[in-house]
Amino acid sequence: MFSRSLAILIAPMLPTAALILSLGPAHTANALVAGTLAVILSAFALIDRRVGFGVGVIAGWVALSAFIFPSTLIESVVATSWGVAMFTCMAGPFSEPPRVERIAGLPVTPPVSAPTEGGLPLAA
């Protein structure tokens, strides 16, 4: 739950970066469309877990788009870092809440004491 809340804070950074930085036309369009979808869907990911996987798919696309489209260093860094961060928060290993599994063990029996005479144990 915390990572999904963190993803809501990270999601608007991509469309904002597309408006602030001078990205190429392909990366600007990709960042605006995918970023806006991710912002909307990340809010719904708090309600339904399956929506988080949809945002993870969008984040994976954005992370890979830096290697598909011709891109500068700024475009590669922005797209890859945002995509990996969102994927990790929404569909990666930190998206699941911690679980505690308890395995039933053998019943515990009290130890058997040696027979005593007068309060002292017998010698063997």
Q: How far apart are the first and last CA of the chain?
A: 62
Distance CA 8, CA 15 (A): 13
Is 109 part of any domain? Answer: no
Is 40 part of any domain? Answer: yes
Is 108 part of any domain? Answer: no
Give the residue among 57, 73, 64, 59 at the shortest CA–CA distance from 22: 73
Is 42 part of any domain? Answer: yes
Is the overall model pTM greater than 0.75, yes or no? no
Per-residue pLDDT tens over the stretch 88-113: 888 766 666 667 788 777 777 777 66
Please tell me the total count of domains within the chain.
Answer: 1
Is 67 part of any domain? Answer: yes
52 band by pLDDT with thresholds 50, 70 and 90: confident
Is 97 part of any domain? Answer: no
User: In the predicted model, what is the mean pLDDT of residues 1-27?
Assistant: 84
In which domain, by residue range, is 27 found?
A: 2-90
Between residues 1 and 64, which one has the greater pLDDT?
A: 64
Q: How far is CA 9 from the centre of its chain?
A: 13
Instruction: Give the chain's mean pLDDT.
Output: 82
Those residues whose C-beta lies under 8 Å from the C-beta of residue 117, and which sit 6 or more positions away, are none
User: In the predicted model, what is the mean pLDDT of residues 6-14?
Assistant: 83
